[in-house]
Structure 1
Amino acid sequence: MLTLPPWLQRQTQGVVNCYACQKLVSITAPTCTHCGSQQPGLWGYGRHFRKFHHQGGFLALITWGCVALYLLTLLVNVRGVRTEMPLEILVPDTSSLLMFGATGEIPLFTLHRWWTLLTAAWLHGHVFHLGFNLGWIRYLMPLALDFYGAARLVVLYTGSAIVAALLSSVVAHYGSGLPPLLQGAYISVGASGALFGLFGALVAHGRQTGSKALEETMALYAGLGFILGFTLGSVDNWAHLGGFLGGFALAYVPGLRSRQPQRLYEVVLALVCLGATALSLVVSVLHWWWIQ
Protein backbone atom coordinates (compact mmCIF):
# COMPACT_ATOMS: atom_id res chain seq x y z
CA MET A 1 0.00 0.00 0.00
CA LEU A 2 1.25 3.45 -0.92
CA THR A 3 1.85 5.58 2.17
CA LEU A 4 1.74 9.33 1.82
CA PRO A 5 4.49 11.43 3.46
CA PRO A 6 3.45 12.94 6.82
CA TRP A 7 2.97 16.43 5.40
CA LEU A 8 0.40 15.11 2.88
CA GLN A 9 -1.61 13.06 5.37
CA ARG A 10 -4.98 14.55 6.37
CA GLN A 11 -6.55 14.36 9.80
CA THR A 12 -10.07 12.97 9.38
CA GLN A 13 -11.30 12.72 12.96
CA GLY A 14 -10.79 14.25 16.39
CA VAL A 15 -10.19 17.90 17.24
CA VAL A 16 -7.77 20.54 16.06
CA ASN A 17 -6.88 24.11 16.98
CA CYS A 18 -8.73 26.62 14.82
CA TYR A 19 -6.20 28.43 12.63
CA ALA A 20 -7.82 31.79 13.50
CA CYS A 21 -8.55 31.72 17.25
CA GLN A 22 -6.45 28.67 18.24
CA LYS A 23 -9.33 27.15 20.23
CA LEU A 24 -10.20 23.46 19.93
CA VAL A 25 -12.83 22.55 17.39
CA SER A 26 -13.95 19.38 15.63
CA ILE A 27 -11.89 18.59 12.55
CA THR A 28 -15.11 18.16 10.54
CA ALA A 29 -16.75 21.42 11.65
CA PRO A 30 -17.47 23.71 8.66
CA THR A 31 -17.41 26.77 10.92
CA CYS A 32 -15.55 27.49 14.16
CA THR A 33 -18.01 27.61 17.04
CA HIS A 34 -15.82 30.16 18.85
CA CYS A 35 -14.88 32.78 16.21
CA GLY A 36 -16.98 31.87 13.18
CA SER A 37 -14.05 31.22 10.83
CA GLN A 38 -14.74 28.98 7.86
CA GLN A 39 -13.05 25.57 7.64
CA PRO A 40 -11.26 25.89 11.02
CA GLY A 41 -9.53 22.54 10.45
CA LEU A 42 -8.32 23.56 6.96
CA TRP A 43 -9.78 20.42 5.37
CA GLY A 44 -7.73 18.18 7.67
CA TYR A 45 -4.44 20.04 7.34
CA GLY A 46 -4.88 22.32 10.35
CA ARG A 47 -2.16 20.60 12.36
CA HIS A 48 0.31 21.04 9.52
CA PHE A 49 -0.49 24.74 9.36
CA ARG A 50 -0.07 25.04 13.13
CA LYS A 51 3.37 23.41 12.89
CA PHE A 52 4.25 25.66 9.94
CA HIS A 53 3.40 28.68 12.11
CA HIS A 54 4.86 27.69 15.48
CA GLN A 55 7.97 25.91 14.20
CA GLY A 56 8.97 28.68 11.80
CA GLY A 57 8.18 26.68 8.70
CA PHE A 58 8.43 29.60 6.28
CA LEU A 59 11.79 30.65 7.71
CA ALA A 60 13.11 27.11 7.25
CA LEU A 61 11.69 27.00 3.72
CA ILE A 62 13.41 30.25 2.76
CA THR A 63 16.70 29.26 4.39
CA TRP A 64 17.02 25.82 2.82
CA GLY A 65 15.41 26.90 -0.44
CA CYS A 66 17.89 29.74 -0.94
CA VAL A 67 20.84 27.54 0.01
CA ALA A 68 19.74 24.74 -2.31
CA LEU A 69 19.14 27.06 -5.26
CA TYR A 70 22.47 28.80 -4.71
CA LEU A 71 24.27 25.46 -4.81
CA LEU A 72 22.35 24.50 -7.96
CA THR A 73 23.39 27.72 -9.71
CA LEU A 74 27.00 26.81 -8.94
CA LEU A 75 26.73 23.18 -9.99
CA VAL A 76 25.02 23.64 -13.36
CA ASN A 77 28.08 25.51 -14.63
CA VAL A 78 31.05 24.90 -12.36
CA ARG A 79 33.51 26.33 -14.89
CA GLY A 80 31.64 29.63 -14.89
CA VAL A 81 31.95 30.13 -11.13
CA ARG A 82 34.27 33.03 -10.33
CA THR A 83 35.49 35.37 -7.60
CA GLU A 84 35.42 39.06 -8.54
CA MET A 85 36.09 40.97 -5.30
CA PRO A 86 37.25 40.10 -1.79
CA LEU A 87 33.61 39.75 -0.68
CA GLU A 88 32.23 38.31 -3.93
CA ILE A 89 33.28 34.69 -3.50
CA LEU A 90 31.84 31.84 -5.58
CA VAL A 91 29.79 33.96 -7.97
CA PRO A 92 27.54 31.79 -10.18
CA ASP A 93 27.68 32.26 -13.93
CA THR A 94 25.10 34.77 -15.21
CA SER A 95 23.49 32.15 -17.45
CA SER A 96 22.97 29.91 -14.41
CA LEU A 97 21.21 32.71 -12.54
CA LEU A 98 19.05 33.45 -15.56
CA MET A 99 18.16 29.78 -15.88
CA PHE A 100 16.77 29.62 -12.35
CA GLY A 101 14.91 32.91 -12.53
CA ALA A 102 17.04 36.03 -12.16
CA THR A 103 14.94 39.12 -12.80
CA GLY A 104 15.75 42.65 -13.98
CA GLU A 105 15.32 44.76 -17.09
CA ILE A 106 16.72 42.13 -19.47
CA PRO A 107 14.68 39.15 -18.22
CA LEU A 108 11.47 41.20 -18.03
CA PHE A 109 11.59 43.54 -21.02
CA THR A 110 13.88 41.67 -23.43
CA LEU A 111 13.22 38.00 -22.66
CA HIS A 112 9.65 38.57 -21.35
CA ARG A 113 10.20 36.24 -18.39
CA TRP A 114 7.72 38.01 -16.12
CA TRP A 115 7.46 35.10 -13.71
CA THR A 116 10.97 35.96 -12.51
CA LEU A 117 9.35 38.62 -10.31
CA LEU A 118 8.59 35.65 -8.05
CA THR A 119 11.81 33.68 -8.35
CA ALA A 120 14.65 36.19 -8.07
CA ALA A 121 14.30 36.60 -4.30
CA TRP A 122 15.32 32.94 -3.88
CA LEU A 123 18.60 33.33 -5.78
CA HIS A 124 21.89 34.89 -4.68
CA GLY A 125 25.01 36.20 -6.32
CA HIS A 126 27.75 34.96 -3.97
CA VAL A 127 28.38 33.47 -0.54
CA PHE A 128 28.44 36.76 1.37
CA HIS A 129 25.25 37.89 -0.39
CA LEU A 130 23.48 34.70 0.69
CA GLY A 131 24.78 34.74 4.26
CA PHE A 132 24.06 38.44 4.81
CA ASN A 133 20.46 38.21 3.61
CA LEU A 134 19.67 35.00 5.47
CA GLY A 135 21.20 36.39 8.66
CA TRP A 136 18.90 39.41 8.60
CA ILE A 137 15.89 37.32 7.59
CA ARG A 138 16.46 34.98 10.54
CA TYR A 139 16.48 38.03 12.80
CA LEU A 140 13.43 39.80 11.35
CA MET A 141 11.12 36.95 10.42
CA PRO A 142 10.32 35.73 13.97
CA LEU A 143 9.23 39.29 14.82
CA ALA A 144 7.05 39.55 11.72
CA LEU A 145 5.65 36.06 12.35
CA ASP A 146 4.63 37.01 15.89
CA PHE A 147 2.88 40.19 14.75
CA TYR A 148 1.32 39.06 11.46
CA GLY A 149 1.00 35.27 11.57
CA ALA A 150 2.31 32.69 9.13
CA ALA A 151 -0.18 33.24 6.30
CA ARG A 152 0.17 37.04 6.22
CA LEU A 153 3.94 36.72 6.50
CA VAL A 154 4.09 34.65 3.31
CA VAL A 155 1.93 37.20 1.48
CA LEU A 156 3.93 40.18 2.77
CA TYR A 157 7.25 38.57 1.88
CA THR A 158 6.15 37.52 -1.60
CA GLY A 159 4.43 40.81 -2.35
CA SER A 160 7.45 42.82 -1.23
CA ALA A 161 9.73 40.72 -3.42
CA ILE A 162 7.51 41.36 -6.45
CA VAL A 163 7.34 45.13 -5.90
CA ALA A 164 11.11 45.25 -5.33
CA ALA A 165 11.93 43.42 -8.55
CA LEU A 166 9.39 45.35 -10.58
CA LEU A 167 10.51 48.81 -9.45
CA SER A 168 14.18 48.07 -10.12
CA SER A 169 13.45 46.63 -13.56
CA VAL A 170 11.17 49.51 -14.57
CA VAL A 171 13.74 52.12 -13.48
CA ALA A 172 16.44 50.30 -15.46
CA HIS A 173 14.22 50.19 -18.55
CA TYR A 174 13.00 53.77 -18.50
CA GLY A 175 15.82 55.47 -16.60
CA SER A 176 18.87 54.56 -18.64
CA GLY A 177 19.91 58.22 -18.67
CA LEU A 178 20.19 58.39 -14.89
CA PRO A 179 23.59 58.48 -13.17
CA PRO A 180 25.01 54.96 -12.70
CA LEU A 181 24.36 55.09 -8.95
CA LEU A 182 20.64 55.72 -9.57
CA GLN A 183 20.03 53.24 -12.35
CA GLY A 184 18.00 50.11 -11.84
CA ALA A 185 19.17 46.55 -12.34
CA TYR A 186 19.49 44.87 -15.72
CA ILE A 187 19.91 41.51 -13.98
CA SER A 188 19.00 41.17 -10.32
CA VAL A 189 18.87 38.41 -7.70
CA GLY A 190 18.63 38.29 -3.93
CA ALA A 191 16.22 38.28 -1.00
CA SER A 192 17.14 41.80 0.09
CA GLY A 193 14.07 43.36 -1.54
CA ALA A 194 11.81 41.05 0.46
CA LEU A 195 14.04 41.64 3.49
CA PHE A 196 13.41 45.38 3.23
CA GLY A 197 9.74 44.50 2.90
CA LEU A 198 9.94 43.01 6.39
CA PHE A 199 11.50 46.27 7.60
CA GLY A 200 8.60 48.16 6.05
CA ALA A 201 5.96 45.85 7.54
CA LEU A 202 7.53 46.11 11.00
CA VAL A 203 7.69 49.90 10.75
CA ALA A 204 4.00 49.86 9.80
CA HIS A 205 3.19 47.61 12.77
CA GLY A 206 5.01 50.00 15.08
CA ARG A 207 3.01 52.95 13.73
CA GLN A 208 -0.30 51.10 13.96
CA THR A 209 0.24 49.90 17.52
CA GLY A 210 2.03 52.96 18.90
CA SER A 211 5.28 51.07 19.46
CA LYS A 212 7.72 53.91 18.80
CA ALA A 213 10.72 51.81 19.81
CA LEU A 214 9.96 49.17 17.18
CA GLU A 215 9.13 51.75 14.52
CA GLU A 216 12.29 53.77 15.09
CA THR A 217 14.56 50.71 15.39
CA MET A 218 13.32 49.16 12.14
CA ALA A 219 13.44 52.52 10.34
CA LEU A 220 17.02 52.98 11.57
CA TYR A 221 18.07 49.52 10.35
CA ALA A 222 16.44 50.16 6.98
CA GLY A 223 18.14 53.56 6.72
CA LEU A 224 21.53 52.04 7.48
CA GLY A 225 20.81 49.41 4.85
CA PHE A 226 20.12 52.11 2.25
CA ILE A 227 23.34 53.91 3.15
CA LEU A 228 25.33 50.68 2.96
CA GLY A 229 23.78 49.93 -0.41
CA PHE A 230 25.00 53.22 -1.87
CA THR A 231 28.53 52.68 -0.56
CA LEU A 232 28.95 49.17 -1.96
CA GLY A 233 29.05 48.15 -5.59
CA SER A 234 26.57 45.82 -7.31
CA VAL A 235 23.73 46.61 -4.89
CA ASP A 236 20.18 46.94 -6.22
CA ASN A 237 19.10 50.03 -4.28
CA TRP A 238 15.83 50.44 -6.17
CA ALA A 239 14.86 46.90 -5.16
CA HIS A 240 15.53 47.83 -1.54
CA LEU A 241 13.30 50.87 -1.84
CA GLY A 242 10.59 48.95 -3.67
CA GLY A 243 10.64 46.17 -1.09
CA PHE A 244 10.38 48.61 1.81
CA LEU A 245 7.50 50.51 0.22
CA GLY A 246 5.79 47.27 -0.76
CA GLY A 247 5.97 45.79 2.74
CA PHE A 248 4.88 49.07 4.33
CA ALA A 249 1.91 49.48 1.97
CA LEU A 250 0.78 45.85 2.19
CA ALA A 251 0.76 46.09 5.99
CA TYR A 252 -1.96 48.75 5.68
CA VAL A 253 -4.23 46.60 3.51
CA PRO A 254 -7.23 45.90 5.80
CA GLY A 255 -7.02 42.12 5.40
CA LEU A 256 -3.28 42.00 6.10
CA ARG A 257 -3.04 44.20 9.19
CA SER A 258 -1.14 42.83 12.16
CA ARG A 259 -2.64 41.59 15.41
CA GLN A 260 -5.78 40.25 13.74
CA PRO A 261 -6.98 36.63 13.60
CA GLN A 262 -5.92 34.96 10.38
CA ARG A 263 -8.72 34.32 7.91
CA LEU A 264 -9.28 31.52 5.44
CA TYR A 265 -8.67 33.70 2.39
CA GLU A 266 -5.28 34.71 3.82
CA VAL A 267 -4.28 31.07 4.21
CA VAL A 268 -5.42 30.34 0.65
CA LEU A 269 -3.57 33.41 -0.65
CA ALA A 270 -0.39 32.28 1.11
CA LEU A 271 -0.70 28.85 -0.51
CA VAL A 272 -1.19 30.55 -3.89
CA CYS A 273 1.99 32.59 -3.32
CA LEU A 274 4.03 29.49 -2.45
CA GLY A 275 2.56 27.45 -5.29
CA ALA A 276 3.08 30.22 -7.85
CA THR A 277 6.70 30.66 -6.75
CA ALA A 278 7.43 26.93 -7.03
CA LEU A 279 5.76 26.78 -10.44
CA SER A 280 7.70 29.84 -11.60
CA LEU A 281 11.00 28.15 -10.70
CA VAL A 282 10.07 25.12 -12.78
CA VAL A 283 8.88 27.26 -15.70
CA SER A 284 12.06 29.32 -15.55
CA VAL A 285 14.32 26.29 -15.94
CA LEU A 286 12.19 24.70 -18.65
CA HIS A 287 11.90 27.96 -20.59
CA TRP A 288 15.66 28.54 -20.40
CA TRP A 289 16.35 25.10 -21.80
CA TRP A 290 13.79 25.76 -24.55
CA ILE A 291 15.34 29.02 -25.76
CA GLN A 292 18.94 27.83 -25.69
Structure 2
Amino acid sequence: MAQRSIPCPHCGTQIDPREDSCPWCGTKRPSLWARLTGGGARGDGDRFVKAIIAANVAYFLLSLVVSGRGEWSANPLSFLSPDQRSLMLLGATGSVPVLSFGRFWTLISASYLHGGLLHIFFNMMALRQIGPWVSAEFGANRMFAIYTLSGVIGYVASCLAGVSVTIGASASVCGLIGALFYFGKARGGSYGAAVSREVSGWLISLVLFGLIMPGINNWGHGGGVVGGVVLARVLGFRAQSRDSAGQRLLALACAVATVLALLWGGLLAVTVIFL
Protein backbone atom coordinates (compact mmCIF):
# COMPACT_ATOMS: atom_id res chain seq x y z
CA MET A 1 0.00 0.00 0.00
CA ALA A 2 1.37 3.40 -0.94
CA GLN A 3 2.19 5.71 1.96
CA ARG A 4 0.61 9.14 2.13
CA SER A 5 2.87 12.08 1.41
CA ILE A 6 3.71 14.67 4.06
CA PRO A 7 4.41 18.40 3.68
CA CYS A 8 7.95 19.75 3.84
CA PRO A 9 8.31 21.89 7.03
CA HIS A 10 9.93 24.72 5.05
CA CYS A 11 8.67 24.92 1.47
CA GLY A 12 5.36 23.03 1.93
CA THR A 13 5.97 20.65 -1.00
CA GLN A 14 4.46 17.17 -0.57
CA ILE A 15 7.24 14.59 -0.17
CA ASP A 16 7.58 10.87 0.44
CA PRO A 17 7.43 10.19 4.23
CA ARG A 18 10.42 7.84 3.85
CA GLU A 19 12.66 10.68 2.70
CA ASP A 20 15.10 11.95 5.32
CA SER A 21 15.07 15.42 3.77
CA CYS A 22 13.09 17.39 1.20
CA PRO A 23 14.50 16.85 -2.32
CA TRP A 24 13.37 20.36 -3.26
CA CYS A 25 14.83 22.55 -0.52
CA GLY A 26 16.93 20.14 1.56
CA THR A 27 15.01 20.60 4.83
CA LYS A 28 15.04 17.57 7.14
CA ARG A 29 11.86 15.58 7.68
CA PRO A 30 9.47 17.10 10.27
CA SER A 31 9.97 15.96 13.84
CA LEU A 32 7.16 14.45 15.91
CA TRP A 33 6.74 17.80 17.69
CA ALA A 34 6.40 19.64 14.39
CA ARG A 35 3.73 17.23 13.24
CA LEU A 36 1.82 17.48 16.51
CA THR A 37 1.88 21.28 16.49
CA GLY A 38 1.00 21.52 12.83
CA GLY A 39 4.25 23.37 12.23
CA GLY A 40 5.16 21.32 9.20
CA ALA A 41 3.53 23.24 6.37
CA ARG A 42 2.66 26.87 6.06
CA GLY A 43 -0.78 27.59 7.48
CA ASP A 44 -1.15 24.24 9.26
CA GLY A 45 -0.57 25.90 12.64
CA ASP A 46 -4.31 26.49 12.66
CA ARG A 47 -4.65 23.13 14.41
CA PHE A 48 -2.36 24.30 17.19
CA VAL A 49 -4.42 27.48 17.67
CA LYS A 50 -7.51 25.28 18.05
CA ALA A 51 -5.66 23.26 20.70
CA ILE A 52 -4.91 26.46 22.66
CA ILE A 53 -8.56 27.48 22.43
CA ALA A 54 -9.63 24.01 23.61
CA ALA A 55 -7.31 24.30 26.63
CA ASN A 56 -8.82 27.70 27.50
CA VAL A 57 -12.37 26.36 27.23
CA ALA A 58 -11.53 23.27 29.30
CA TYR A 59 -9.96 25.35 32.08
CA PHE A 60 -12.93 27.74 32.06
CA LEU A 61 -15.32 24.80 32.47
CA LEU A 62 -13.15 23.47 35.30
CA SER A 63 -13.38 26.85 37.02
CA LEU A 64 -17.18 26.61 36.88
CA VAL A 65 -17.11 23.08 38.28
CA VAL A 66 -14.79 24.12 41.11
CA SER A 67 -17.08 27.09 41.83
CA GLY A 68 -19.97 24.68 42.21
CA ARG A 69 -22.11 26.97 40.11
CA GLY A 70 -21.65 29.72 37.59
CA GLU A 71 -23.20 33.12 38.18
CA TRP A 72 -26.46 33.22 36.22
CA SER A 73 -26.80 36.98 36.44
CA ALA A 74 -28.92 38.91 33.97
CA ASN A 75 -25.87 41.13 33.50
CA PRO A 76 -24.12 39.73 30.38
CA LEU A 77 -20.73 40.82 31.72
CA SER A 78 -21.07 38.52 34.73
CA PHE A 79 -23.01 35.66 33.12
CA LEU A 80 -21.50 32.26 34.01
CA SER A 81 -18.77 33.77 36.18
CA PRO A 82 -16.57 31.54 38.38
CA ASP A 83 -16.28 32.75 41.98
CA GLN A 84 -13.17 34.54 43.19
CA ARG A 85 -12.05 31.68 45.43
CA SER A 86 -12.00 29.25 42.51
CA LEU A 87 -10.06 31.67 40.31
CA MET A 88 -7.45 32.21 43.03
CA LEU A 89 -7.05 28.47 43.61
CA LEU A 90 -6.78 27.69 39.90
CA GLY A 91 -4.11 30.30 39.28
CA ALA A 92 -5.20 33.93 39.03
CA THR A 93 -2.09 36.11 39.01
CA GLY A 94 -1.18 39.64 40.07
CA SER A 95 0.87 41.36 42.73
CA VAL A 96 -0.92 39.54 45.56
CA PRO A 97 -0.50 35.93 44.29
CA VAL A 98 3.01 36.49 42.89
CA LEU A 99 4.70 39.03 45.14
CA SER A 100 2.91 38.24 48.41
CA PHE A 101 2.59 34.46 48.11
CA GLY A 102 5.30 33.51 45.60
CA ARG A 103 2.89 31.77 43.20
CA PHE A 104 5.04 32.43 40.12
CA TRP A 105 3.40 29.63 38.15
CA THR A 106 0.26 31.78 37.97
CA LEU A 107 2.03 34.00 35.43
CA ILE A 108 1.20 31.18 32.98
CA SER A 109 -2.04 29.74 34.36
CA ALA A 110 -3.81 33.13 34.50
CA SER A 111 -3.84 33.28 30.70
CA TYR A 112 -6.18 30.27 30.70
CA LEU A 113 -8.64 31.67 33.26
CA HIS A 114 -11.62 33.90 32.43
CA GLY A 115 -14.16 35.81 34.46
CA GLY A 116 -17.25 34.94 32.49
CA LEU A 117 -18.75 33.64 29.26
CA LEU A 118 -18.35 36.91 27.36
CA HIS A 119 -14.78 37.31 28.61
CA ILE A 120 -13.63 33.98 27.19
CA PHE A 121 -15.78 34.35 24.06
CA PHE A 122 -14.19 37.62 22.94
CA ASN A 123 -10.66 36.51 23.83
CA MET A 124 -11.03 33.26 21.92
CA MET A 125 -12.58 35.00 18.93
CA ALA A 126 -9.56 37.32 18.80
CA LEU A 127 -7.16 34.37 19.15
CA ARG A 128 -9.00 32.45 16.42
CA GLN A 129 -8.56 35.40 14.06
CA ILE A 130 -4.98 36.42 14.92
CA GLY A 131 -3.35 33.12 15.90
CA PRO A 132 -3.37 31.42 12.47
CA TRP A 133 -2.03 34.60 10.86
CA VAL A 134 0.90 34.74 13.28
CA SER A 135 1.46 31.01 12.82
CA ALA A 136 1.55 31.43 9.03
CA GLU A 137 4.25 34.12 9.24
CA PHE A 138 6.27 32.81 12.20
CA GLY A 139 5.51 29.08 12.31
CA ALA A 140 3.60 27.25 15.03
CA ASN A 141 6.60 26.89 17.35
CA ARG A 142 7.46 30.58 17.38
CA MET A 143 3.79 31.54 17.56
CA PHE A 144 3.26 29.47 20.71
CA ALA A 145 6.46 30.76 22.31
CA ILE A 146 5.33 34.34 21.64
CA TYR A 147 1.82 33.60 22.93
CA THR A 148 3.09 32.08 26.17
CA LEU A 149 6.01 34.38 26.96
CA SER A 150 4.31 37.65 26.00
CA GLY A 151 1.50 36.69 28.38
CA VAL A 152 4.08 36.20 31.12
CA ILE A 153 5.70 39.55 30.28
CA GLY A 154 2.32 41.30 30.37
CA TYR A 155 1.50 39.83 33.76
CA VAL A 156 4.94 40.69 35.15
CA ALA A 157 4.26 44.29 34.10
CA SER A 158 0.90 44.05 35.89
CA CYS A 159 2.56 42.83 39.08
CA LEU A 160 5.15 45.59 39.03
CA ALA A 161 2.41 48.16 38.40
CA GLY A 162 0.51 46.94 41.46
CA VAL A 163 -2.44 45.19 39.78
CA SER A 164 -3.53 42.98 42.67
CA VAL A 165 -5.38 40.16 40.84
CA THR A 166 -5.88 39.59 37.12
CA ILE A 167 -6.82 36.84 34.64
CA GLY A 168 -7.47 36.32 30.94
CA ALA A 169 -5.80 35.45 27.65
CA SER A 170 -5.76 39.06 26.46
CA ALA A 171 -2.12 39.69 27.44
CA SER A 172 -1.05 36.72 25.30
CA VAL A 173 -3.34 37.76 22.43
CA CYS A 174 -1.85 41.27 22.63
CA GLY A 175 1.56 39.61 22.32
CA LEU A 176 0.48 38.11 19.01
CA ILE A 177 -0.72 41.54 17.89
CA GLY A 178 2.66 43.00 18.83
CA ALA A 179 4.42 40.26 16.85
CA LEU A 180 2.32 41.04 13.77
CA PHE A 181 3.06 44.75 14.16
CA TYR A 182 6.79 44.01 14.19
CA PHE A 183 6.39 41.66 11.23
CA GLY A 184 4.68 44.35 9.15
CA LYS A 185 7.42 46.90 9.87
CA ALA A 186 10.27 44.43 9.31
CA ARG A 187 8.73 42.77 6.24
CA GLY A 188 8.19 46.05 4.42
CA GLY A 189 6.76 46.37 0.94
CA SER A 190 3.07 46.68 0.15
CA TYR A 191 2.18 43.55 2.13
CA GLY A 192 4.12 44.68 5.20
CA ALA A 193 2.53 48.13 5.00
CA ALA A 194 -0.95 46.56 4.81
CA VAL A 195 -0.22 44.42 7.87
CA SER A 196 1.08 47.44 9.79
CA ARG A 197 -2.02 49.48 8.95
CA GLU A 198 -4.43 46.78 10.07
CA VAL A 199 -2.52 46.00 13.27
CA SER A 200 -2.20 49.71 14.06
CA GLY A 201 -6.00 49.88 13.97
CA TRP A 202 -6.17 47.04 16.50
CA LEU A 203 -3.67 48.79 18.77
CA ILE A 204 -5.64 52.04 18.67
CA SER A 205 -8.82 50.11 19.47
CA LEU A 206 -7.08 48.43 22.42
CA VAL A 207 -6.04 51.80 23.85
CA LEU A 208 -9.51 53.32 23.43
CA PHE A 209 -11.22 50.23 24.85
CA GLY A 210 -8.89 50.28 27.86
CA LEU A 211 -9.63 53.93 28.53
CA ILE A 212 -13.40 53.56 28.23
CA MET A 213 -14.12 50.21 29.89
CA PRO A 214 -13.60 49.83 33.64
CA GLY A 215 -11.58 46.92 35.01
CA ILE A 216 -9.38 46.48 31.94
CA ASN A 217 -5.79 45.46 32.69
CA ASN A 218 -4.03 48.00 30.50
CA TRP A 219 -0.66 47.10 32.01
CA GLY A 220 -1.16 43.50 30.92
CA HIS A 221 -2.22 44.58 27.43
CA GLY A 222 0.67 47.00 27.03
CA GLY A 223 3.20 44.55 28.45
CA GLY A 224 1.90 41.84 26.14
CA VAL A 225 2.24 44.06 23.05
CA VAL A 226 5.79 45.09 23.98
CA GLY A 227 6.67 41.48 24.79
CA GLY A 228 5.32 40.35 21.42
CA VAL A 229 7.39 42.96 19.56
CA VAL A 230 10.58 42.04 21.43
CA LEU A 231 10.07 38.29 21.05
CA ALA A 232 9.28 38.64 17.33
CA ARG A 233 12.49 40.63 16.90
CA VAL A 234 14.53 38.03 18.76
CA LEU A 235 12.97 34.91 17.20
CA GLY A 236 12.49 36.24 13.67
CA PHE A 237 9.83 35.15 11.17
CA ARG A 238 9.67 32.59 8.38
CA ALA A 239 10.72 34.93 5.58
CA GLN A 240 13.94 35.57 7.52
CA SER A 241 14.79 32.07 8.78
CA ARG A 242 13.35 28.61 9.23
CA ASP A 243 12.65 27.17 12.68
CA SER A 244 15.81 26.33 14.59
CA ALA A 245 16.26 23.48 17.06
CA GLY A 246 16.47 26.06 19.84
CA GLN A 247 13.13 27.59 18.86
CA ARG A 248 11.48 24.18 18.75
CA LEU A 249 12.93 23.43 22.19
CA LEU A 250 11.64 26.78 23.49
CA ALA A 251 8.13 25.98 22.24
CA LEU A 252 8.28 22.55 23.85
CA ALA A 253 9.44 24.11 27.13
CA CYS A 254 6.51 26.55 26.98
CA ALA A 255 4.11 23.68 26.37
CA VAL A 256 5.48 21.65 29.29
CA ALA A 257 5.41 24.67 31.61
CA THR A 258 1.81 25.41 30.59
CA VAL A 259 0.64 21.84 31.17
CA LEU A 260 2.38 21.70 34.57
CA ALA A 261 0.93 25.06 35.66
CA LEU A 262 -2.61 24.07 34.67
CA LEU A 263 -2.33 20.63 36.25
CA TRP A 264 -0.95 22.13 39.46
CA GLY A 265 -3.72 24.73 39.62
CA GLY A 266 -6.38 22.11 38.96
CA LEU A 267 -4.92 19.76 41.57
CA LEU A 268 -4.80 22.49 44.22
CA ALA A 269 -8.37 23.57 43.52
CA VAL A 270 -9.83 20.07 43.51
CA THR A 271 -7.91 19.16 46.69
CA VAL A 272 -9.09 22.22 48.63
CA ILE A 273 -12.70 22.19 47.41
CA PHE A 274 -13.56 18.50 47.26
CA LEU A 275 -11.25 16.77 49.75
Give 3-state SS (helix, strand or coil) of 1:124's partner: coil
The corresponding residue for 1:176 is none
Is 2:204 the partner of 1:223?
Answer: yes
The verdict on how the C-alpha distance between 1:224 and 1:265 changes in structure 2, with shifts beyond 3 A counting, is same
Q: What CA distance in whole angstroms lies between the structure 1 residues aligned with 2:33 and 2:134?
A: 26
Q: What CA distance in whole angstroms lies between the structure 1 residues aligned with 2:33 and 2:136?
A: 24
% same residue: 30
Give 3-state SS (helix, strand or coil) of 1:213's partner: helix
Give 3-state SS (helix, strand or coil) of 2:200's partner: helix
Amino acid at match of 2:54: W
1:46 is displaced (CA, Å) by 4.1
Q: Which runs of 5+ in 2 are unaligned?
A: none
The corresponding residue for 2:137 is 147
The corresponding residue for 2:100 is 110
**TM-score where L is the length of structure 2:** 0.85
Give 3-state SS (helix, strand or coil) of 1:282's partner: helix
The verdict on how the C-alpha distance between 1:22 and 1:146 changes in structure 2, with shifts beyond 3 A counting, is same
Check whether the contact 2:137–2:237 (CA below 8 A) recurs between aligned residues: no
Amino acid at match of 2:104: W
Q: What CA distance in whole angstroms lies between the structure 1 residues aligned with 2:72 and 2:79?
A: 7
The corresponding residue for 1:92 is 82
The verdict on how the C-alpha distance between 1:14 and 1:127 changes in structure 2, with shifts beyond 3 A counting, is closer
1:144 is displaced (CA, Å) by 1.0
Q: What CA distance in whole angstroms lies between the structure 2 residues aligned with 1:109 and 1:93?
A: 22
RMSD: 2.8
Is 2:29 the partner of 1:40?
Answer: yes
The corresponding residue for 2:157 is 167
1:106 is displaced (CA, Å) by 1.2
Q: What CA distance in whole angstroms lies between the structure 2 residues aligned with 1:84 and 1:47?
A: 41
Q: What CA distance in whole angstroms lies between the structure 2 residues aligned with 1:110 and 1:239?
A: 19
Give 3-state SS (helix, strand or coil) of 1:194's partner: helix
Pairs within 5 Å for 1:241-280 = 241-253=222-234, 255-259=235-239, 260-280=241-261
Which of 205, 208, 215 is equivalent to 2:186?
A: 208
Q: What CA distance in whole angstroms lies between the structure 2 residues aligned with 1:136 and 1:250?
A: 20
Question: What is the number of equivalent residue pairs in this alignment?
Answer: 266
Q: What CA distance in whole angstroms lies between the structure 1 residues aligned with 2:131 and 2:171?
A: 14
1:213 is displaced (CA, Å) by 2.0
Q: What CA distance in whole angstroms lies between the structure 1 residues aligned with 2:175 and 2:132?
A: 14
The verdict on how the C-alpha distance between 1:53 and 1:114 changes in structure 2, with shifts beyond 3 A counting, is farther
1:283 is displaced (CA, Å) by 1.8
1:284 is displaced (CA, Å) by 2.3
The verdict on how the C-alpha distance between 1:242 and 1:287 changes in structure 2, with shifts beyond 3 A counting, is same
- Mean alpha-carbon deviation: is it higher for 98-107 or for 201-210? 98-107
Deviations 1:9-34 (A, max 9, x none): xxxx9975442344566767776666
Q: Which runs of 5+ in 1 are unaligned?
A: 1-12, 173-184
The verdict on how the C-alpha distance between 1:199 and 1:33 changes in structure 2, with shifts beyond 3 A counting, is same
